[in-house]
Structure 1
C-alpha cells in the first residue's frame, strides 16, 4: 500500500467512511512504518509525507487509548465498550478536534448495549442526567470547563439538563446542534436515518444546523422539530410525553427500606450512594416515579420524605439525617 493510499484511507477514516478492513490495514501499515528499519522500508523522497502520516495516525491511537483511562471501578465497562469502539471512534475523534474543546477534560464514552433492556442512565459531571436508548452512544468529558458544556450523541437519548445560566449545554447530533440552559428533551439522531428529531418536554431549546449554524427553530414544551437530508426543518405540536414513552421505566417503592432504594438508584443512575448515618438504611419509604426524573429530583423527594439531606460529588452521593429503628 503506497503512502498516498494511506493518506486516502486516513481521510476516509476522519470522514467516517473507513471500513473495519481498511482500519485494520491502517493499523498494519502503522506498525510496519513505525519501525522501517525492521522491514527495510524505502523512505527516500516520501519520508516527509510518511512522517506526517505516522504522526497523524499515532495521534489517533493516543486519543483512542485516552478514552479508556478511567478508574478501576469502571474497567469492566470499558472492556465491553472496546468491542464497539472502532465503530464509534470517528465521533470521538471529531469531538476531540472540534474547535473550542481544547479546554475540556479528556472524553468518556458511554454506550448503551443493543438489547431490549439496553437503556443506560448516565449522571453527567454537572449533575444533568441522560437516558440512552439501546444501541446509542454519548461522548462527554470528565468535567465541563470553559464557557459551555458540550457532548456528542449518536442515536437517541433523553436529556434532563441541570440549569447553569453562565454555561449553556450543547449537544452535537449529526447535522444538528441543540443548545439549552436547563430543560428536558429528547433527541433522535441515528446515522442510518435521514432526519434528526428533537422533542421538548420542559423548558426552551434552540436548534441550529451543525455546519452553518443557521437557526432552525426555538422549541418550547410539546413542540418537535424534524430536520432532514433536504435541509428542510418542520416544527409541529406533539404530545411530548407520548413521544418519549420509551424512557419511562417507573420506580414504585411501597414501604421499601432506604438502603434498597439506594441500591436501585445506584444501578440506574450509575452512582454510589452511601449513608452518613447507618440507621438511615432502615427507614422505609413510599414513593412512585415515572422514570423520566433526574437523579436530583428523585433524591430531593426521597430526602424530603425522611427529613434528610444529600450531597453529590461526581458519581458519589451521601445521604445524611436522623435514622430509624430497624422495622424488619
Structure 2
C-alpha cells in the first residue's frame, strides 16, 4: 500500500468513516510497519498531519490490545461494543447533517450553532474535514465538494481542522477575508456585526486574501494571527491555544450526571443519544475534553469512565451498561 493510500485510510479512520474492509487493510499495514524488519517510514516536514493520524491509530491499537490481553469474555464483549461503532459514527454524523432535500439536491447545507452560552456545533464535512462552530455562528457548505476547490462560508466563529487533498485547496469565505488552506487547523472569527475579521493558526499554514480585491494580506504559520479591519491587516505572534480556549468551555465534566452530558453531546454533534439502561442516566461522570474530538472518541471515553458501552442503531446512539451506585 502506497504512502498516499495509508494517509487516505488514516484520515478516514480519524473521521470514523472507514469501512470494515478499509479498517482491516489499515491494521494489516500497521502490523507490517510495526515489524522490527520493516523499512522505517520517512515523513517529509509537510506531512505532520499524517504523523498525527498515525499516532491516533497507534493509540487506538494500544487501547484495543490492552483490553484484549485480559482474556475475559466480559472484556471481549465490551471491546466489541465500544470499538465496532467507531466505523459507523462517521456515517451517522453524515446522515444526520442538515437536510437540503426541500431546497433541491444542489442546494447548499446550513449548519447553525444555538446562540446560547457555551453552545457548540460539530460538523463533519463531505471530505472528512471537521468544523466546530461557536455559539451563534453558522456555516454554509455543499453536500459534496465538486470542482477544483472546496469552498464554505462562515458567519461568526469556527475552528477548522482541514483534511489534505493535494491540488484541491480548501477556501473559507468570512466577511472581507478569503482564507485558503491545503491541510491545517485554525480559528476564524468573523461576526457580521463586527468590523474586524481574525484568523489564528494552530497547525499548518494558511494564505489570507481580501475577498474582493484578492490582495494577498499574509501567510500565517502556527501561533500567528492576522486581524483585518478597515482594509488594514496586522499580523502578530500569539499563543493559539489561548485564542481557541472557547472550544474547551463546557467540556470539563466534574461529577455530572451521564444524562446531562449525553444531552449536551447530542446537541453539539446533532445526534440523538438514549440509554437502554435507565440507571445509567444518574451515574456521575468525571471527564475533560479539548472540544475538537470526534464523536467516537467522546463516546469511548464517556463509556469507559461510566462502565458502559454504546452502539449505533439507525440514526441514534444507544448507551447500555450495568449502571452504577454513585448517584
**What's the TM-score bracket when you normalise by the shorter of the two chains?**
0.5 to 0.7
Aligned to 1:198: 199
Q: CA separation of 1:149/1:212 partners in 2, compared to 1, >3 Å: closer, same or farther?
A: same
Shift of residue 179, structure 1, vs aligned partner: 2.1
Contact 1:105 1:145 (8 Å CA) reproduced:
no
Q: Name the counterpart of 1:61.
A: none
Relative distance call for 1:267 and 1:218 in structure 2 (3 A) is same
- Tell me how large the CA RMSD over aligned residues is: 4.2
* Length, aligned pairs only: 220
Query: 2: distance between equivalents of 1:280 and 1:203?
Result: 45
Q: 2:324 aligns with which of 308, 314, 327?
A: 327
Distance in 1 (alpha carbons) for counterparts of 2:251 and 2:192 = 32
Residues 1:163 and 2:160 are matched in the alignment: no
Contact 1:112 1:118 in 2 (8 A): no
Q: What is the distance in 2 between the residues matched to 1:311 and 1:294?
A: 15
Q: 1:246 to 1:327 in 2, by over 3 A?
A: closer
C-alpha deviation, 1:107, in angstroms: 1.3
CA distance in 2, matches of 1:281, 1:165: 45
**CA displacement at 1:152 relative to structure 2:** 0.8
- Measured against aligned partners, the alpha-carbon deviations of 1:39-90 in whole angstroms (never above 9, x if no partner) come to xxxxxxxxxxxxxxxxxxxxxxxxxxxxxxxx99979xxxxxxxxxxxxxxx
What pairs up with 1:100-249 in 2 under 5 angstroms? 105-112=106-113, 114=115, 117=117, 119-125=119-125, 126=128, 128-134=130-136, 136-154=137-155, 156-166=156-166, 167-230=168-231, 232-249=232-249
Q: Quick one: structure 1 residues 312 and 172, their matched pair in 2 at CA, closer, same or farther if it must change by over 3 Å? A: farther
> SS of the residue aligned with 1:224?
strand
Structure 1 stretches of 5 or more lacking a match?
Answer: 1-70, 76-103
Q: CA deviation at 1:216?
A: 2.3
CA distance in 2: counterparts of 1:141 and 1:237, whole angstroms = 33
Instruction: Specify the SS of the correspondent of 2:212.
Output: coil
Tell me the equivalent position of 1:3.
none
The structure-2 alpha-carbon separation of the partners of 1:73 and 1:247, relative to structure 1 and needing over 3 Å to count, comes to: closer
> Could you list the per-position Cα deviations for residues 294-321 of structure 1 after superposition, in whole angstroms to 9, with x for gaps in the alignment?
54553464467679788899xx46579x
How far 1:210 moved relative to its partner?
1.9
CA displacement, residues 266-315 of structure 1 (integer Å, 9 cap, x when unaligned)? 1122223468xx579959654212435454553464467679788899xx
8 Å Cα contact 1:129/1:295 also seen in 2:
no
**TM-score in terms of structure 2 length:** 0.52
Does the residue aligned with 2:163 lie in a helix, a strand or coil?
Answer: coil
Counterpart-to-counterpart distance in 2, 1:119 and 1:143: 26
Partner of 1:25: none
Question: Using a 3 Å threshold, how does the CA distance of structure 1 residues 147 and 318 change in structure 2: closer, same or farther?
Answer: farther
Question: Does the 8 Å contact 1:119/1:133 carry over to 2?
Answer: yes
Return closer, same or farther for 1:233/1:106 CA change in 2, 3 Å cut-off: same
Q: Which of structures 1 and 2 has the bigger CA Rg?
A: 1
Could you list the runs of 5+ residues in structure 2 that have no partner in the other structure?
Answer: 1-94, 100-104
Give the superposition deviation at 1:172. Answer: 0.3
Query: Are 1:129 and 1:294, in contact at CA under 8 Å, matched by a contact in 2?
Result: no
CA distance in 1: counterparts of 2:249 and 2:240, whole angstroms: 16
Distance in structure 2 (CA, Å) of the matches to 1:254 and 1:192: 35
Partner residue, 1:269? 269
Question: Quick check: 117-126 or 235-244, which moved more?
Answer: 117-126
Mapped to 1, the partners of 2:270 and 2:245 lie a distance apart of 21
Kindly state the Cα deviation for residue 140 of structure 1 after the two structures are TM-superposed. 1.9
Query: Using CA pairs below 8 Å that are at least 6 residues apart, which structure has the higher relative contact order?
Result: 2
Report Cα offsets for 1:166-220 as digits up to 9, x if no partner.
4543210122111234433221223444332111223332222223434322222
Report deviation, 1:117. Answer: 2.1
1:306-321 pair list within 5 angstroms: 316=315, 318=317
Q: 1:139 to 1:261 in 2, by over 3 A?
A: same
